[in-house]
Amino acid sequence: MVVRKTKKMLDVEKRIHRPLERAIPEMLNEEGFTETAKQLKLSKATLNYWMLKLGIEVRRVALAPGEEIEIKRSNV
């Protein structure tokens, strides 16, 4: 899927030295939604819109004690 990025998206990518498609999911997992928006200097609404535009999904998973989860990335 090819996404046409806005000038602001390109400016943020330049500032963080990586594509948003990779940076946003990693930041969300490590820092959470609000902190990711702060670090990218965006409103939460803009971050949410960018995620929608870039096809980034957020899923919550509840694990019982002793359970683990494994994330597999496709080579796309």
pLDDT tens-digit readout, 16-73:
999 999 999 999 999 999 999 999 999 999 999 999 999 999 988 899 999 998 888 7
CA dihedral (14, 49, 38, 72) in degrees, to 10, reads -80
Sorted by where each begins, the domain ranges of the chain are 7-54
Q: What pTM does this model have?
A: 0.82
Find the DSSP H helices in 1-76: 7-16, 20-31, 33-39, 44-54
